[in-house]
Amino acid sequence: MKKVIIIAVLFIVATGTQAQVEIKNIGLSFGKDKDVQSRLTPQAIMGKSTTGLPSEITQYFDGIGHTQVNSFADVPNIKFAMTLEPSKLKKTEIYTAANLTFNRQEGFEVANSDLGLTLKSNEFNLEAAIVKRKSFIGLLHFYGGLGTNVGYQFGNNILVSGSEIDYTPESSVLRQGNYIDIEDEYTHVNNGISARGFAHLGFGLSLFRIVELGYERRQGYGMRQYFGSEADYAHMSSNRFTVKYIMRKRKKNTVFGLFGDDKKKGKKKKKKGGIFGL
């Protein structure tokens, strides 16, 4: 795990310190990704609790295997991105981004019941990707490349749900038909780290050479680890809609860089005399 993170960090540093690069655009993207763990079982989720779940809850999950559950992994997020354009590499761009994943929910529901466990978490990560660009008539752009990200997981807890569990009011843990968080001492999950590698595909449409609207698709694999528990391999699948503001030097004597005379015109000499030199 440490080697993967070190390699990912070196990749981001190396791509971010390339000589003679210009900022091409900055923008935001919104999406709902899937980051599915390879070993998503009740035992794996309960094992991430720092103090363990009470026996009156774990007894309902004993003996339940992977084939008896329906897993899910919903990951809403927002990303601030900046695209760099190296002057020495033609039709090549370097994507850099800061990504915030909030209220990630991954877990399972037991088949033929509404009993389940959900691991809720947040993550902040930095990512970089090197992509090739193919453009048509300066308006439609296609992208493809490889990238990686490294992140930090925080604000984690476990949620137990299900109407089949019927506790007495004295337990104050779960009532029939309700979805209630267990007490903090049972649900606390340590912070953690993550690292992923992915293939990046996308396309964009330039509007008035000012804004680019696009769509991005990423597929990859990586590892996530909560401190004090085993590392989990995860399959990442990402779909995003993007809005980018194109950063470029606008030519003189044109309207928004679109229409007009792009040729430089000589300056007229001011006539001497007159009022205020006019």
197: nearest Cα among 41, 2, 11, 49? 11
* pLDDT at residue 172, as a whole number: 40
pLDDT-derived band at 130, boundaries 50, 70, 90: very high
- Of all residues in the chain, what percent carry a pLDDT higher than 70? 66
Residue 225: how many other CB atoms lie within 10 Å: 19
The amino acid present at 253, given as its one-letter code, is N
Q: What is the mean pLDDT of residues 9-31?
A: 71
| Tens digits of residue pLDDT in 223-254 | 999 998 888 888 888 899 999 999 865 444 33
Specify the pLDDT at position 168: 39
Residue 18 above 70 pLDDT? no
Give the pLDDT of residue 3: 56
Q: Which amino acid is at 115?
A: L
If residue 184 lies in a helix (H) or strand (E), which one and from where to where? helix 184-187
Nearest to 96 by CA among 33, 148, 31, 153: 148
Angle in degrees, CA 72, 76, 81, rounded to 5: 140
Flag the least confident range among 108-117, 198-207, 215-224, 249-258.
249-258
DSSP assignments along 147-165, one per residue: EEEEEEEEEEEEEEE-SS-
Q: How confident is the model at residue 200 (pLDDT cuts 50, 70, 90)?
A: very high
Tell me how far apart the alpha carbons of residues 210 and 256 are, in angstroms, rounded to a whole number: 8
Mean pLDDT of all residues belonging to the chain = 75
Question: CA 75, CA 82: separation in Å to the nearest integer?
Answer: 22
Is the pTM higher than 0.75? The answer reads no
The pLDDT confidence band at residue 37, using thresholds 50, 70 and 90, is: confident
pLDDT, tens digit, 9 for 90 and up, residues 207-227: 988 999 999 999 999 999 999
Most confident of 17-26, 116-125, 253-262: 116-125
Range scoring the smallest mean pLDDT among 35-44, 185-194, 269-278: 269-278
DSSP string, 254-273: EETTTEE--SPPPPPPPPSS
Task: Give 201's contacts (C-beta < 8 A, 6+ positions apart).
Answer: 143, 144, 216, 217, 218
- Tell me: the pLDDT tens digits for 85-99? 988 888 899 999 999
For the purposes of burial, counting CB atoms within 10 Å of the CB of 232, is it exposed (0-12), middle (13-18) or buried (19 or more)? buried
Dist CA 219 CA 242 (whole Å): 17
Average the pLDDT over each of 32-41, 144-153, 245-254 and give the range with the smallest value: 245-254
